[in-house]
Amino acid sequence: MQSKAINFKDKFTKFSEQWSPRVIAEMNDYQFKLVKVEGEFVWHDHPDTDEVFIVIEGELNIEFREGVVTLSSGELFVVPKGIEHKPVAATECKIMIIEPKGVVNTGGETTDLTAQNNLWV
């Protein structure tokens, strides 16, 4: 068992790469990942799982084919499985993603933004 709480702001100081999720904790077969995002991601979906976004600092838009959802600090959104989405942030935004272990950030697409999986910080 860990012996200390995990501090989001402290963990964010330990990496700078954008669009590169860093695992900070596991709960059963789920992972909690911190990500720094800026600019436009790629359209993708996760056919087998919902995906939760929580904004820690900054503002994130999640674009859908039929609209956009804006998240500010202290807000959460569940992207349902199989729904195409594209995260976009005008300036760097710090977020936490929660999803099952093994989920690839770009879904079924492999692009320049496809990140290495299971990197811990």
Residues lying near a copy of itself in the complex (CB under 8 A) are found at 1-9, 24-28, 30, 32, 49-52, 56, 64, 67, 69-72, 74-78, 80-81, 83, 98-100
> Which residue is associated with the tokens 């590169």?
20
Contact 71, 78 (CB under 8 A): no
Rg, Å, the chain Cα set: 14
| Smallest gap from residue 8 Cβ to a copy of itself (A) | 5
Contact 42, 87 (CB under 8 A): no
User: 64 vs 111, which CB is nearer to a copy of itself?
Assistant: 64
Short-list 113, 116, 48, CA closest to 80: 48
| Smallest gap from residue 13 Cβ to a copy of itself (A) | 13
| Smallest gap from residue 99 Cβ to a copy of itself (A) | 8
User: 26 vs 111, which CB is nearer to a copy of itself?
Assistant: 26
